[in-house]
Each structure stands twice: as C-alpha cells, then as structure tokens.
Amino acid sequence: MSLVEVINVTKEYANGEESIRPLDEVSLSVEEGDFVSLMGASGSGKSTLLNLIAGIDLVTSGEIVVADTDITQLSRGKLADWRARHIGYIFQTHNLIPVLTAYENVELPLLLLPMSGAERRKRVEIAMAAVDLTSRASHYPRQMSGGQEQRVGIARAIVSNPTLVVADEPTGSLDDETTEQILQLLERVNNELGMTLLMVTHDADAGQRARRKIRLERGRLMENGKELHTAKIRTA
Amino acid sequence: MTKFIPYILKSLWRHRARTLLTVSGTAVALLVFCFIGAVQQGLLALTSDEDSGRTLIVFQENRFCPQSSRMPQDYQRTIAKMPGVKDVIPIKVFTNNCRASLDAIVFQGMPPEKLKAWRDINLQSGDMSSFASQEDAALVGIDVATRRDLSVGDKFTIGDISVVVRGVFQSATAAENNLIFTQLEFLQRARGANDVGTVTQLEVHLNDTADPDALAKQIDEEFRTGPVGTTTRTKGMFQADTLADLAELIGFVHWLGYACVGLVLSLVATTTVMSVQDRIKEHAVLQTLGLRPLRVFSLVIIESFLLSTIGGILGVVGSTLLLSSAGMSIAAEGVTIAFEPSLALATQGIVVAIAVGLLAGLAPGWQASRAEIVPALSHA
C-alpha cells in the first residue's frame, strides 16, 4: 500500500456568495521514499491539496490515508497529535517563532513527543548539523538571513523523523543561489535520510528536481500528460 | 505544558512595555483592593469580635462626641454591685478631633491596674512601672508612635495636653494600636480643668452567665432618675453606632473594591486579546507542528494567569508593606478603625488575582484555539 493515498478528494469553499472548488474528485498515491513535486498555476489548488494531506485543512468529501490512517476521520485534537508524529511542514515564509532561538525552534516539535531531554538534545543537534547550522543554534530568526531561516525551518520539519515532509513553496521567497542550496538540501533529506517529500512549487525548475512531477490543472491532477485516477475506492 | 513555560515567558517579554504596564496596573488595582479590604476588615473587627459582645459601654444619654459625655465616676460603684458584673473601668476620653479624621489622636485615661488587667497589650519598649508612677506618663500605641515618630522619653503635646512617652505598645486589638493610654486622673485634670469625679464612659465587663442586653437595660434604668442619664450598649453596638456614618461610607467604598477587580479583568483581558491577535499566525504554526487546540488554549490562559498573578502578588505585597509600616487608621468620635494587613486579606487578594487571570484568558484562549489553521497562516 502507498504511504499517501488521496482518494476522490473534493475541496469546496465559499468566497462570499461564490462557491469555489479548487479540487474536484482528485486522487493521488505517493510511495514511501518518493520526492514528488506538485506544480500548477497560482490558485490552482496545489497548496490546498498539500494542506489537506498535511492535516491542517479539512476535505469536503473523499479520503486521505497516510501511513494507514484515514486522517479525514480524526478529530481536531487527534489530528494535531497525528501531525506531531507524522508530518514535517516547511513553510514558504519559514514561520519561525521569533522569540525562540534556532535551536529552540527546531526543538519545538519534539516537545510534543514523549522523549527524554537527552534524546531531544541529540535529535536537535543532528537536525541542526544536517542543515549545517550548528554554529547558529543560539541565534534568533531576526539575526539570520532568509536562507538560514529556511534551513532552520527544514531542520524543524525533519527533527521528529516524520512519516512525510511537506513543503509549501519552500524557495518562493529566496534568491537563486539560496534556492539552489535549499533544493540541494531537500534532495539530501530525500536521498540520504530517506524521507518522503511532497513539495508544492510554481517554479518549474524547482519542480524538475523531484522524481515525480505532478501538475494540478482545473481541479485535476495530471502526471506525464495523463490524469491520475483512484486506484481503489475505500468508502463503502 | 511545563516544557512550554520558556516560550510563554519569552512571549510575555516580547512586548515588555505592554506586559509591564499590565502587571503594574494590576498591582495598583490589587493594592487598592487590599487597602479597601483592610478598612472593611478593621470595621468588622470592631463590631464583631468576642469582646465586643460581652462588654458594655455606658455613655451619657444623648451624647456622641466623647468631649460631651460627662458621667459621675461613682456610677462605677453602683454598677459593680449589679449581679453578672465582673469589673467596671472608668475611662476618660480625649480626642483632638471628634469628626472623621485619618490622624485623630485619641487619649484614654484609666487606672493603671485596670489597664494591666483588661488590655491585652505588649510593651515593645518602655515599662509599665514608670507609666504607673509618673502622673503625665503615657503608653502610646504602635501605630500612633509610627505615624508621629514617637519613642520612649519623648514629650508629646497635642492641643493643651502634654505627655511623656513611657512605653510603646502593640495590642492584640488592632484599633487599640491607635490609642494613647494615660492615667485617669491626669486626663481629668488636663487642660486646666478639674473633671476629677467625672468620666466619659464606663466599660463594664460581664461574667459568662450575664445577659448583656438585660444588664444594659438595668443600668440605664438605675440611672434614669440620677443626675446624668445613661445609654448602655454592648461595645460592638456602641462602636457601630458611633461609626455609623463612616460604616455607611465604607460600605459604599467596597464597590470600589469590585471595580478594582473589574479593572484588572479588563486590563488583563485586553492585553491577552492583543497578544493573541498579534500571534494568530504563530498559533497556527504551533498547531501545524502538532499542538492540540486545548494546548493553545492553555498557553493563552497561562499567559493571562501570569500577568494577573504577578501583578496581584506585587499589589498584595505592596499593600501589606504599606499597611504594616504606615500605621494608618481612621477615627470618629474617639473610636478608631485600624487598617491592618492580614494573611486572610493577602490570600484573598492573590486568589482574586488568580481567578481574574484565568477568567481574562478564557475568551482569547478560546479564540486562539478555535482559529482555522490555513486562514490563520495567511494572516499578516
């Protein structure tokens, strides 16, 4: 079974009196260890799909199964617990907590998991070393460049060794040189740490770095010019 | 949640000016709250302690200010013979101000042996024998001594009365710490007068079986046809009647205490709401990382709890220091209400601060915990 299965998912929301349906019965499977890029025009619904898979948004209909858990059936509290254990989220704008140091930001997800202080320290040090920011551990976000902030964001996303790392336009606010560094880092996360990565980007060059390239067009998911269909229907 | 305490403290420190203003505002409001509580407590102590129900005060009929009550001292002998009476103390009272005043000086002149027998006082300095042996000697309550900076050996003059301080005492009854005790005859002869043989009031101590109301009636009946009519009441009732106007005012002032609580609630809630609105996106990030909505709620509640409790503790400590060091009191017609700090009052202040802190965080905590993550992440 695939690590991620998106089955006939529709997302609809109201914008004033207008009803918007960015996702219309879309289906997608992601295998463990994959690096998938999700591209599409602005407003095509790619970030919406990412947020649904990450469990921070709710489907209108359909199912999303990640590591054998149908997350559409979880309550808000259980979904939060599930995210803590299974999801590493990389934001476009880094979204580090400004009052915490780089070290404390990376440590944050681990505070939600049952582990000793020593184990926590060890994991944070490994994650900081993985993004080559050990020397910046005591720095606050305001004392770092955009690229460094994003590396801290990546360290925070991988520190808990999540089932799935999702990245929403991770290079969207960076210059070319820093974009390249971040993409290389994401490739390492996938290749060397073996983490499954789902990246949303509108940058075609960035999208090409993934092993699978999927486009979202008019509410439909396309791969290699063909629409993706559901492998199976789980609901009765 | 203890793992998140550093984050909470850093969040509070992020807007330190706002935090400090809220804490100081809370401290001032709690200081006023405790101060008002101390005034109410002082009034309650005067009218409800055990002694106030088992002791009678005989005063001249239809007189209120101690300056105008002049009863024959030999009433003491008549009353002492009545069944149920344990002892009678003749007291001459002099006050520099019969109206309500924050710095009234009240002298009570009585025989030294009665003073020793019936006043639960502890000399902080000086000695009783020099008080008993010197005509113009005075024992000064610790609150008066603090207010007027008096110590043993000092000569103290107010109006036409001059005394030499022979002792500074602390009384078990807070209001007595605002009195100056002299010998009875000294006060009867003070200001060039010769009032020997007359007293302001008689304090009648009853034995355990006596009925205070019946005995009060009996005393007034006894002197109805005498040279001076009397009004006899329990000490509690006498003090309540004497302080009736002030009691009404104090009763009104307790609303100010509630207003202080409302002020703290509004202040802490406003700060917490502002803090939550500043961090809508940050809370969404925390929820994305896996923080349960209930934990976000708790973070906000703990923040408002800390703001209110730290301010509350500062206010309570401030009021305790102020009340214990300044020796404040208010007096009217020779009866004083002492503003004393107490453990019960301090506890009440801190409990109020904690409760208000928790209450103030409810709405913003709920707002933070119920926010949808995705729209909140787009929040500027």
- For chain A, domain boundaries: 33-55+75-215
Question: Does the residue B234 lie in any domain?
Answer: no
Question: Under an 8 A CB cutoff, do B374 and A84 touch?
Answer: no
Closest CB to A80 among B6, B10, B293: B293
Residues B145 and B265 in one domain: no
Q: Distance from B358 to chain A by nearest Cα, in Å?
A: 22
Residues B130 and B32 in one domain: no
B contact set with A (CB within 8 A): 3-4, 6-7, 10-11, 13-14, 281-282, 285-295, 373-374, 377
Question: Under an 8 A CB cutoff, do A81 and B7 touch?
Answer: no
Residue B237 gets the label, from left (phi > 0), alpha (psi -120 to 50) or beta, of alpha
Question: Under an 8 A CB cutoff, do A77 and B290 touch?
Answer: no
Question: Does the residue B54 lie in any domain?
Answer: no
Q: Which amino acid is at A51?
A: N
Q: What are phi and psi of A195, to 5 degrees?
A: -85, 140
Give CA–CA dist B17/B311, Å, rounded. Answer: 14
Question: Does the residue B214 lie in any domain?
Answer: yes
pLDDT at B248: 84
Is the separation of the CB atoms in B284 and B376 below 8 Å?
Answer: yes
pLDDT at B380: 65
Give CA–CA dist A230/A208, Å, rounded. Answer: 24
The pair of three-digit structure tokens given for residue B290, joined into one six-digit string: 């896996």
Q: Distance from A225 to chain B by nearest Cα, in Å?
A: 30
Q: What is the CA radius of gyration of chain A?
A: 18
The pair of three-digit structure tokens given for residue B347, joined into one six-digit string: 């506890």
User: Percentage of residues in chain B with pLDDT exceeding 70?
Assistant: 99
Please report residues of B whose CB lies closer than 8 A to that of A99: 7, 10-11, 13-14
Give CA–CA dist B76/B226, Å, rounded. Answer: 13
Q: What is the pLDDT of residues A113-169, one digit of tens each?
A: 999 999 999 999 999 999 999 999 999 999 999 999 999 999 999 999 999 999 999
Question: What DSSP line would sit under chain A, residue for residue?
Answer: --SEEEEEEEEEEEETTEEEEEEEEEEEEE-TT-EEEEE-STTSSHHHHHHHHHTSS--SEEEEEETTEEGGGS-HHHHHHHHHHHEEEE-TT----TTS-HHHHHHGGGGGS---HHHHHHHHHHHHHHTT-GGGTT--GGGS-HHHHHHHHHHHHHTT--SEEEEESTTTTS-HHHHHHHHHHHHHHHHTS--EEEEE-S-HHHHHTSSEEEEEETTEEEETTEE---S-----
Q: Which amino acid is at B269?
A: A
Please report residues of A whose CB lies closer than 8 A to that of B10: 99-100
A98 touches chain B (CB under 8 A): yes
* Greater pLDDT, B336 or A48: A48
Q: From B199, B228, B257, give the residue that closes a domain.
A: B228
Residues B372 and B320 in one domain: yes
- Mean pLDDT for A81-104 is 95
Question: Under an 8 A CB cutoff, do A51 and B6 touch?
Answer: no
Question: Does the residue B113 lie in any domain?
Answer: yes
Give CA–CA dist B8/A102, Å, rounded. Answer: 17
Is the separation of the CB atoms in B72 and B89 below 8 Å?
Answer: no
Closest CB to A83 among B14, B288, B295: B288
Please report residues of A whose CB lies closer than 8 A to that of B295: 80
Residues B25 and B77 in one domain: no
Class of domain A33-55+75-215: alpha beta
Q: Are strands A212-217 and A220-223 parallel, antiparallel or unpaired?
A: antiparallel
Q: From B201, B228, B255, give the residue that closes a domain.
A: B228
Question: Does the residue B365 lie in any domain?
Answer: yes
SS3 for B333? Answer: coil
Question: What DSSP line would sit under B106-160, residue for residue?
Answer: EEEE--HHHHHHH--EEEEEE-HHHHHH-TTEEEEEHHHHHHHT--TT-EEEETT
Give CA–CA dist B363/B376, Å, rounded. Answer: 17
A74 touches chain B (CB under 8 A): no
A112 touches chain B (CB under 8 A): yes
Give CA–CA dist B369/B380, Å, rounded. Answer: 18
The pair of three-digit structure tokens given for residue A201, joined into one six-digit string: 């980007």
A215 DSSP β-pair partners: A39, A222
Is the pLDDT at B300 greater than 90? The verdict is yes
Please report residues of B whose CB lies closer than 8 A to that of A95: 281-282, 285, 377
Residues B265 and B131 in one domain: no
SS3 for B334? Answer: coil
Q: Are strands B161-171 and B137-141 parallel, antiparallel or unpaired?
A: parallel
Residues B321 and B371 in one domain: yes
Is the separation of the CB atoms in B88 and B79 below 8 Å?
Answer: yes
Q: Which of B12, B286, B288, B295 to mutate to test the interface with A (most CBs of A within 10 A)?
A: B288
Report which of B142, B186, B191 is spatially closest to residue B164, judged by C-alpha positions. Answer: B186
Burial of A229 (0-12, 13-18, 19+ CB in 10 A): exposed
pLDDT band at B378 (very low <50, low <70, confident <90, very high): confident
Residues in chain B: 380
Report which of A198, A212, A185 is spatially closest to residue A47, judged by C-alpha positions. Answer: A198
Please report residues of B whose CB lies closer than 8 A to that of A81: 290, 292
pLDDT at A230: 53
Give CA–CA dist B51/A153, Å, rounded. Answer: 72
A56 touches chain B (CB under 8 A): yes
The pair of three-digit structure tokens given for residue B349, joined into one six-digit string: 């202040």
Is the pLDDT at B273 greater than 50? The verdict is yes
Residues B25 and B68 in one domain: no
Question: Does the residue B329 lie in any domain?
Answer: yes
Lowest mean pLDDT among A94-103, A223-232, B245-254: A223-232
Is the pLDDT at A234 greater than 60? The verdict is no
Element (H, E) at B343: helix B343-370
Closest residue of chain B to A84, computed from CA coordinates: B290
Which residues contact residue B213 at a Cβ distance below 8 angstroms, ignoring those fewer than 6 apart?
Answer: B234
Question: Under an 8 A CB cutoff, do B373 and A56 touch?
Answer: yes
Question: Under an 8 A CB cutoff, do A108 and B281 touch?
Answer: no
Strand ranges, E, within chain B: 55-60, 71-72, 85-95, 106-109, 121-126, 137-141, 155-158, 161-171, 179-182, 198-199, 201-206, 230-234, 329-332, 335-338
Report which of B50, B87, B94, B48 is spatially closest to residue B69, judged by C-alpha positions. Answer: B94
Question: Under an 8 A CB cutoff, do B291 and A80 touch?
Answer: yes
Give CA–CA dist B75/B223, Å, rounded. Answer: 8
Please report residues of A whose CB lies closer than 8 A to that of B281: 95
Is the pLDDT at B307 greater than 80? The verdict is yes
Residue B9 burial (CB count, 10 A): 14
Q: Which of A50, A99, A152 to mutate to test the interface with B (most CBs of B within 10 A)?
A: A99
Is the pLDDT at A61 greater than 90? The verdict is yes
Is the pLDDT at A233 greater than 60? The verdict is no
Angle ∠(B45,B246,B158) on CA atoms, nearest 5: 90
Structural domains of chain B, count? 2
Question: Under an 8 A CB cutoff, do A83 and B285 touch?
Answer: no
Q: From B177, B197, B228, give the residue that closes a domain.
A: B228
Give CA–CA dist B323/B329, Å, rounded. Answer: 9
Domain that holds residue B193: 62-228
Residues B223 and B253 in one domain: no
A20 touches chain B (CB under 8 A): no
Closest residue of chain A to B379, computed from CA coordinates: A95
Residues B81 and B190 in one domain: yes
SS3 for B234? Answer: strand
Give CA–CA dist B166/B153, Å, rounded. Answer: 6
pLDDT at B314: 97
Is the separation of the CB atoms in B94 and B161 below 8 Å?
Answer: yes
How many helices (H) does chain B have, and how many strands (E)?
15, 14
Is the pLDDT at A82 greater than 60? The verdict is yes
Residues B150 and B279 in one domain: no
Give CA–CA dist A103/A151, Å, rounded. Answer: 12
Residues B89 and B215 in one domain: yes
Q: Give Cα B128 distance to the centre of its chain.
A: 28
Question: Does the residue B215 lie in any domain?
Answer: yes
Give CA–CA dist B115/B131, Å, rounded. Answer: 11
Question: Under an 8 A CB cutoff, do B292 and A80 touch?
Answer: yes
pLDDT band at B222 (very low <50, low <70, confident <90, very high): very high
Q: What is the pLDDT of residues A26-60, one digit of tens each?
A: 999 999 999 999 998 888 889 999 999 999 999 99
Question: Under an 8 A CB cutoff, do B290 and A97 touch?
Answer: no
Q: Please identify among residues 148-187 of chain A the ones whose CB lies closer than 8 Å to any CB of chain B.
A: 156
Question: Does the residue B184 lie in any domain?
Answer: yes
Please report residues of B whose CB lies closer than 8 A to that of A54: 288
Closest CB to B287 among A80, A91, A98: A80
Residue B244 burial (CB count, 10 A): 12
Q: What is the pLDDT of residues B32-59, one digit of tens each?
A: 999 999 988 888 887 777 677 889 999 9
Question: Under an 8 A CB cutoff, do A54 and B4 touch?
Answer: no
Residues B259 and B218 in one domain: no
